[in-house]
Structure 1
Amino acid sequence: MSFNSWKSYMQFSYSVRNKSRYILDGSAQSFLQGIKDTCKSRIEVIEPNSEMWRAQMGHDCLPLLQDGIHVDDIFAPYSEKRMRPLPDSASEGRANPKGIPCLYVASQKETAMSEIRPWLGSSISVARFTNSKELQVIDFSKQLNVKLPFYFSEPDDAKRIEAVWTNIDKAFSQPVTNSDQKSDYAPTQIIAELIKSLGYDGIAYRSSLGRGHNLALFDLHSVIFKESSLFRVNDVQFSFESNDDERFNEKYV
């Protein structure tokens, strides 16, 4: 079994955002079964001792003492405790609902820093993590550079699967802002929870702000903290495109 339609993700997304989120109807359940049946081709293995990065805005202040007298403060990167999410107060994320945290890391240091959208002159604490054992994740980036498909009638099964995964991959790569409605997270959160229930260690998806991949790891302690460093933002670049641009319109079909 695969998917009932090449539009299955769009139908699922609308349903869980606007109709019913916690009691899924038959169509939504069928869509999730399609993911179960087709996701194995997207398994990626993260070998032991791979480096992963996590960034947070800000820094610690450590007291500089001279003869027991506080004379100044020294900026220092956040400690491990601050660089991991709190287990009982997680905010909404692309792959997690409020209160159920994931550890979001990136495959590249620069990607991790870009993802937090820093401003010019700001300080960023960046932690380096590594894994002691092999991690298996589902990759949601394989179809990212494929143009969003459109069919007037249902295609064959192979094209239907490709179309659905193309829409899913693009959904995971969409930038997230604080102004987004929380319901917009629901489709990807449900898919991520499904992947978690299948026993995988996390999900991978392309960053919209850097060249690397983002990882959402379900076990907060699946990676080992190695060190943290402090960085200052020296340059911020923006790129713009018109609403009339075909690439822009593709994002919102």
Structure 2
Amino acid sequence: MPDRKARAEIFFHHNGRDDQDSFTPASLLSRIAQASEALGLIVELPAGLSLWRARTDLPKGQRVVASDFGPPPLKLALQSNRMNPAGIPMLYLASSATTALKETRTKQAKVGLWRSIRPIRILDLRHLPPVPGIFAEEPRKQALTLSFLHDFANDIMKPVARNNEVHIDYLPSQVVTEFMRDYEFSDGALDGVAYGSTVHQPGWNVALFLGPIDLGLATPGWGVTPSPAFAFKKATWTTSA
């Protein structure tokens, strides 16, 4: 397979049309979404699933509430992450308290437990199929698309710089994430993206597109309040072994 730079040159070009070995950006993103569905990567996580968020900035003894472990308010969403730019908050949760702590790269944190009330639809990048070799029967574009998904998964698993600077190298994965967030799959829109953990191999993470209303942390200004997708259960301190 071509290396990453070569794949980018194959995918992104400027002549405004698709050809044998390349896509326009819009065509590429649509193809990634379609291929993800065809490969069975759009899955439902069951109701009753426990997921955790770690906070390293909460002092011991401070009383906490559910919103302390929800997505940051818009005015405080200054951190640019690999799937969301500053100003567009997402809720990053982990499959266990240990994974949540290790993802912070610190030795202790307050962790909050969320439990899903309904099934959660995700793009599942935890166990991607291998990229077909050059002599495989699969079409070349399918192999390139799957290779791109592997690159996307590898990018979003990398550590995030913990500052409020704008990181332009996060832009490609942010663009893909935003497209997936708005894309209408056969059974509806996604709730988030699940991916592996590089710091705790048994664990995994999920970036949720759900806002405060979806988490029962706020009510809409008008209309019927929807049933929340998650319920907050508890918060506790955890430390590394």
**TM-score higher than 0.5:** yes
C-alpha deviation, 1:106, in angstroms? 0.7
Check if 1:126 corresponds to 2:111: yes
Question: After superposition, what is the alpha-carbon deviation per residue over 1:72-108, rounded to whole angstroms, capped at 9, x for unaligned?
Answer: xxx2563322222223121211211111111100112
| Structure ID, larger Rg | 1
RMSD in angstroms over aligned alpha carbons?
A: 3.3
Structure 1 equivalent of residue 139 of structure 2: 156
Structure 2 equivalent of residue 214 of structure 1: 205
Tell me which amino acid in the other structure corresponds to 1:100.
I
Pairing partner for 2:90 from 77, 102, 111: 102
Structure 2 equivalent of residue 116 of structure 1: 104
Q: 2:203 & 2:151 partners in 1: Cα distance?
A: 20
Structure 1 equivalent of residue 194 of structure 2: 204
| Aligned CA distance change for structure 1 residues 107 and 133 (closer, same or farther; 3 Å) | same
C-alpha deviation, 1:166, in angstroms? 2.1
Please say if residues 140 and 172 of structure 1, whose CA atoms lie closer than 8 Å, have aligned partners that are also in contact: no
C-alpha deviation, 1:27, in angstroms? 2.3
Q: 1:197 & 1:156 partners in 2: Cα distance?
A: 27
The count of corresponding residues between Structure 1 and Structure 2 is 202
Tell me which amino acid in the other structure corresponds to 1:201.
D
Q: 2:10 & 2:105 partners in 1: Cα distance?
A: 26
Pairing partner for 1:141 from 99, 104, 126: 126
Q: Secondary structure at the match of 2:51?
A: strand
Normalised by the length of structure 2, the TM-score is: 0.71
Please list every run of 5 or more consecutive structure 1 residues that lacks an aligned counterpart in the other structure: 20-25, 62-74, 236-253
Check if 1:50 corresponds to 2:46: no
C-alpha deviation, 1:139, in angstroms? 1.1
Q: 2:89 & 2:80 partners in 1: Cα distance?
A: 8
Please say if residues 130 and 224 of structure 1, whose CA atoms lie closer than 8 Å, have aligned partners that are also in contact: yes
| Aligned CA distance change for structure 1 residues 12 and 190 (closer, same or farther; 3 Å) | farther
Question: After superposition, what is the alpha-carbon deviation per residue over 1:129-188, rounded to whole angstroms, capped at 9, x for unaligned?
Answer: 0111111100122238x5x8886xxx8334333322222222222222337861111111
Q: 1:9 & 1:49 partners in 2: Cα distance?
A: 43
Normalised by the length of structure 1, the TM-score is: 0.68
Q: 1:126 & 1:77 partners in 2: Cα distance?
A: 13
Structure 1 equivalent of residue 225 of structure 2: none
Q: 1:51 & 1:96 partners in 2: Cα distance?
A: 23
Structure 1 equivalent of residue 238 of structure 2: 231
Tell me which amino acid in the other structure corresponds to 2:55.
Q
C-alpha deviation, 1:196, in angstroms? 0.9
Please say if residues 80 and 166 of structure 2, whose CA atoms lie closer than 8 Å, have aligned partners that are also in contact: no
Please say if residues 101 and 238 of structure 2, whose CA atoms lie closer than 8 Å, have aligned partners that are also in contact: no
Correspondence 1:1-150 to 2 at 5 A: 10-11=7-8, 27-40=24-37, 41-60=40-59, 75-76=61-62, 78-88=64-74, 89-90=76-77, 91-119=79-107, 123-143=108-128
C-alpha deviation, 1:8, in angstroms? 9.0
Please list every run of 5 or more consecutive structure 2 residues that lacks an aligned counterpart in the other structure: 15-22, 184-188, 216-228
Q: Identical aligned pairs, as a percentage?
A: 23
Please say if residues 128 and 226 of structure 1, whose CA atoms lie closer than 8 Å, have aligned partners that are also in contact: yes
C-alpha deviation, 1:12, in angstroms? 7.5
Structure 2 equivalent of residue 188 of structure 1: 173
Q: 2:115 & 2:230 partners in 1: Cα distance?
A: 5
Structure 2 equivalent of residue 71 of structure 1: none
C-alpha deviation, 1:212, in angstroms? 1.1
